Homo-oligomer: A and B are copies of this chain.
Amino acid sequence: MDGMMQEQPLIVSGILTFAERWHPTVEIVSRTAEGSVHRYSYADLGVRSRQLASALQALGVAPGERVATLAWNGYRHLEAYYAVSGMGAVLHTVNPRLFPEQLDYIINHGEASIVLVDLSFVPLLDQLADKLSQIEHVVIMTDRAHMPSCKLANVHCYEELLDSGSRAFAWPELDERSASALCYTSGTTGNPKGVLYSHRSMVLHAFASQSPNSIGFSQRDTVLVVVPQFHVFAWGTSFSALMAGAKLVFPGQGMDGASVYQLLREEQCTVSLAVPTIWMMLMAHLESVDGDLPALDRVVIGGSACPEAMIRTFEERYGVKVLHAWGMTETGPLGTLNHLQPKHDALDADQQIAVKLKQGKPIYGVDLRIVGEDGEVLPHDGETFGRLQIKGHWICSGYYKLENDTSVDADGWFETGDVATIDADGYMQITDRTKDVIKSGGEWISSIELENIAVGHADIQEAAVIAIEHPKWDERPLVVAVRVAGSTINSVDLLAYIGRFVAKWQVPDAVEFVDELPHGATGKLNKLSLRQKFQGYKLPTAD
């Protein structure tokens, strides 16, 4: 027997329609590529998104067709989000920070026929023009006065294109399972892989993201969206914050400490989202100007693990709550968020920090588990670590156009590639990447834990720990470290230091000092390259 309730699809245009109708005057503030600060309202966003959708339709964009964007955070990018997904096409956000060959691969693999590009990325696109044969139109996200010259074909001015569209465009009532957006991951191995989101997954993710156990957006919030809109829709904020009626502030390309600080203060932002690197720059700036953050209530920190010092500084010095989060392109992205529970109130500050260093609990709508090498489900004891798997409403069921895809098992568990522990209260902590963990005599050793310890030594600037083949133990850890300028620390002293923090069998077998470590396009340590470099390395313990 079916229920007798109204059936409406869970689609992205529903978020915009609600926002426009019930929060029409809420502001969207953007620092633009042209240099000025732009302000308008949800009502304006609604009108212009409909105009853009209408104009794209007139250009020939059909349902299901991919429309790529190469853009910083701003109101035009947001209009593109709603216009493209809302009209039934697929928003394909491209990360402009990737290497040109990756960009080229991603745009071609996604088969976008049209690309919307920020002024600052026109030279980049220009450079790739010859390789992007399937692109029929290029829309430069600026007005006529700022249109650059370029060798690209079929170039349109965004504002002129938009003006040609109808304000009366009506959003189609799409199937909620239809594709709404496409994002690519940039792994260190193989080609980037595409995640194809559905309208349903994005709306449910927004519902979950704005809940108090997650980010808790409300109509009383002002959100500084530092995490790029090309990173899984700014972690979904472009939908969740609008669903909640929160004021939005977009920094454009100004993500340095001074620019972030200025927007936090001038717009009285209550919440902001970014990776640790951004917050490092803000901390340094705050220190240099003796600044404070009176309006800021909380920050969401994800992308990589949040360091202890950052949590302490935000919370103890600036009175800002840290929400440590974890997720991936493949997971919506929000998977877990860290809020303390009432039982933690009784803990002292250090014990609370120990909890906050974990990536937190799954938000409603996803489920997590850790499994061992043979797939056996491991206990939630906070000690045992295993491969982290996730399933849920906004977790991918596979990659776009990828053959022999084994990322999701028969029971629907997606293999995250992370290694983690889960404690008795359900708090998950990432301890390593599956491919980086060192498998020594049947036991796993976390490379990340060893790296964190190594960089805790005052003489070590950066460190990577990789597995080296070992005749007896299968694998043993090698530290590859960069010394602080002027330091002469040696292997024996560094290993002795590490030995103060871990069990004897976890202490690495050797240290190699190098001048610098290799990094990928998004700034992450490239361990694949290191493993190649040290292939065949002979550990002193190998005999």
Contacts and interface: CB of A to CB of B under 8 A. Distances in A.
Interface string A187-218: 00000000111111100100110111100111
B220 A426 contact: no
A367 B20 CA distance: 12
Interface string A427-471: 000000000000000000000000000000000000000000000
Given A4-B398, A7-B177, A219-B342, 15 more contacts: A1-B90, A2-B175, A3-B196, A5-B200, A5-B201, A6-B393, A8-B391, A8-B393, A211-B211, A212-B216, A212-B220, A212-B244, A213-B218, A220-B339, A243-B364
Interface residues of A, number: 67
6 contacts: A1-B196, A3-B178, A3-B180, A18-B364, A212-B216, A213-B219
A1 B339 CA distance: 38
Given A1-B64, A5-B197, A201-B3, A213 B179 contact: no
A474 B383 CA distance: 78
Interface string A153-178: 00000000000000000000001011
B220 A342 contact: yes
Nearest to A4: B196
A523 to B, nearest CB: 28
Contacts of A175: 2
A362 interface: yes
Contacts of A177: 2-3, 7
Nearest to A176: B3
A217 B212 contact: yes
Contacts of A198: 2-5
Given A22-B361, A211-B207, A5 B395 contact: yes
Interface of A: 1-8, 10, 15, 18, 21-23, 25, 63-64, 90, 175, 177-180, 195-201, 204, 207-208, 210-213, 216-220, 243-245, 339, 341-342, 361-362, 364, 367, 391-400, 408, 412, 414, 425-426
A2 B367 CA distance: 23
A90 B5 CA distance: 14
Given A1-B90, A212-B212, A218-B213, A396 B207 contact: no
A6 B213 CA distance: 22
Copies of this chain, complex-wide, total 2
A164 to B, nearest CB: 27
B212 A3 contact: no
Contacts of A361: 22
A4 B400 contact: yes
Contacts of A341: 219-220
* Nearest 4 A/B pairs, CB to CB: A3-B198, A212-B218, A1-B64, A5-B201
B412 A200 contact: no
A397 B178 contact: no
Given A177-B3, A178-B2, A218 B396 contact: no
Nearest to A339: B219
A427 to B, nearest CB: 10
Contacts of A200: 3, 5
A90 B394 CA distance: 28
A180 B178 CA distance: 26
Most B Cβ at <10 Å: residue of A180, A195, A207, A399: A207
Contact of A396 (B6, B15, B220, B339): B6
A112 B278 CA distance: 60
A212 B217 CA distance: 7
Contact of A5 (B25, B342, B393): B393
Contacts of A213: 218-219, 244-245
Contacts of A412: 6, 8
A418 B137 CA distance: 52
B364 A244 contact: yes
Contacts of A207: 204, 207-208, 211, 364
B219 A6 contact: no
A88 to B, nearest CB: 9
Contacts of A2: 175, 177-179, 198
A17 to B, nearest CB: 8
A412 B5 CA distance: 10
Contact of A179 (B1, B210, B408, B425): B1
Contact of A392 (B8, B210, B398, B408): B8
Nearest to A66: B1
